[in-house]
Every structure is written in C-alpha cells, then in structure tokens.
Structure 1
Amino acid sequence: MTEQQRLSPGDAAPEFTLSDSEGTEVSLSDYRGKSVVVYFYPAASTPGCTKQACDFRDNLAELNDAGFAVLGVSPDKQAKLAKFVAEEGLTFPLLSDPDKAVLTAYGAYGEKQLYGKTVTGVIRSTFIVDPEGKIAHALYNVRATGHVAKLRKDLKV
C-alpha cells in the first residue's frame, strides 16, 4: 500500500475552487471567518451517498445556526450533481472535482478496503475547517449512516 497524505487538526486546509451543481465557482476562501464542514463522498445518487446528503440537508438549519456551512465534494460531473440536487432537494453546495485534485489534497482519494479487497477510490471523509482556514477535525473512513448525528454530537450542535 502506498502512503497517503492525511490531514490532522491544526494543518492548513488545502485551498480549492470548484464548480457547484449550477456551474458557479465556489472557493473555500469564500467561507473564511466561518466554520465549514467539507465532506467527500464517492458518487451522487448511490444509496449511502444519498443517505448522507439527505442527513446533511435535514440537519442543515441546526448546523447553520451553530455557525457551520456545509460543502459536499465528489468526482461527479456538474450535470450529475445538478440531477442529484434536484431529485433530493439538497440545499447546500455540491462541488465537482472530476480530476480528484482536491480529494487527493485532503487525503480522501486513494487505496481503501472495499468488501475485503484493496481498491483505489474516494475515501468517505469529513473535515471541519475553522474560521481561520485550519483543520479542526479530520475524519476518515466515516460511515454514511449516522455520520451527521455523530458529527452534531461531537460539535455539540
């Protein structure tokens, strides 16, 4: 197995600018001064990713009220993200990273175990970026189901 970059609390969050489901460019720096939940998921419209996105949607008001913005990132193309947003009524930006540069910078793309086999792909991960642009929490290999509830508990939201 190759050694993958992993971020830790206190590290500077890798800056990025990606297009959202409507083609609008969104940069992490747009959120400077706020806390941001940046979560990486494998593919829009798959069962686990749909569950996770809907959990974020259903808890967005509480997260926003506590000062957290939410951004989802996947390698999906803009058109697939737009369909996913429309089908699920998602109310936060989903960002397209087709070349996987941002996924890789966050350590959210690489070798992982899937059904007992080593494969290369998106590692479901969540990061809390503080208002100064530093990593406050780095969570790798999270589960889609129950993740938002655990995150809210950990963040005391």
Structure 2
Amino acid sequence: MTKSSIEVDSRAPEFKLMGTGGASYSLSQYLGKTVVLVFYPGDNTPVCTKQLCSYNNELEQFANLDAQVLAISSQDMASHEAFAKKHGFKFPLLADTDKQVSADYGVLGLFGLSRRSIFVIDAKGIVRYVHRALTGVTFRKVGELTQAIANAQAGND
C-alpha cells in the first residue's frame, strides 16, 4: 500500500480527471468551495453502491453547506457512466485509471483499487478531515461528513 503525508492541515494534491457527463474535473476549479473527495474501490459493488446512493439521497445536505461531492475510483468512464445512470447519481464519478490520484492521496490499496477514503477539503485547498477505511466494509455517514464540512468552514479540525 502507498504511504502518504496527506493528513489534516496538508495542502490537497491537485488533480485533473475525466468524469461522468464527459467533463474534465480538477480540484482547483473548486477553490472557494468545500470539496468532499470520496475514494471508493469499485462501481456496482455492494458497499460502494450503498455508500454512493446514501450520499446521493442526502445530496441536499451537502448543497446546503455549499459543498461539492466528487467520487473517484480506478474504473474507466464506460463503467462510471453505466453506474451513474443506473443509480441516478447527481455528483460526478471521476476515472483515476492510471491510479495516480489515488497514489497521491495515499489511498491506493491492494490489487490497484482505491481504499474507501474521505477527504474534506476547505475553500483554500487545505485538507480538514481524513478518513481512510481499514477494511472497506463500512463508510462514513452523511451526518459525520456534514459535521466535518461545518468544522472545515468554521476553521476547526
């Protein structure tokens, strides 16, 4: 597994990835806004599906805090487009096919899959919350993430 120094109070590594809807996404395009960066192992897997559907169903809570959810895994765009269409995701799924972004954030796990991880990045591009799952069978609930967003926006850890 990749080790990383990306922790709370670190500058979030910049990235540019293709995402659902045919758009290109970069972290820097969200400067001035809080970003919830969601790394997940795979499209159409039970826990990933439950996690992303949970976030999608509660997307208004993120929007009310002016936070943007971006989900990243190593699958290709065809897989992401089918997964997003099947579940009606209203946030982009980004394709980290070369796994560089996962490596940069220290979440590249076994078999080249992203470890289930969350980074809340403040409006200035500073990481304010980190959770890297050890086993990947559970995920952070919306309430915990909205609290992390509120703390980031208030300047608290």
% identical aligned pairs:
33
Partner of 1:122: helix, strand, or coil? coil
Whether contact under 8 Å (2:73, 2:113) holds in the other structure is no
Change (3 A) 1:42 1:90: same
Give the alignment partner of residue 152 of structure 1, picking from 133, 146, 150: 146
Q: Which has the higher strand share?
A: 1
In the other structure, the counterpart of 1:126 is 118
Compute the displacement of 1:66 (Å). Answer: 1.0
The answer for unaligned runs of 5 or more in structure 2 is: 152-157
5 Å-filtered alignment, 1:4-153, equals: 4-111=3-110, 121-141=113-133, 143-145=137-139, 147-153=141-147
Change (3 A) 1:27 1:155: closer
Compute the displacement of 1:122 (Å). Answer: 2.0
TM-score (normalizing by structure 1): 0.86
In the other structure, the counterpart of 2:155 is none
Number of residue-to-residue matches in the alignment: 149
Question: C-alpha distance in 1, partners of 2:82/2:15?
Answer: 23
The root-mean-square deviation of aligned C-alpha atoms, in Å, is 2.0
In the other structure, the counterpart of 1:115 is none
The answer for unaligned runs of 5 or more in structure 1 is: 112-118
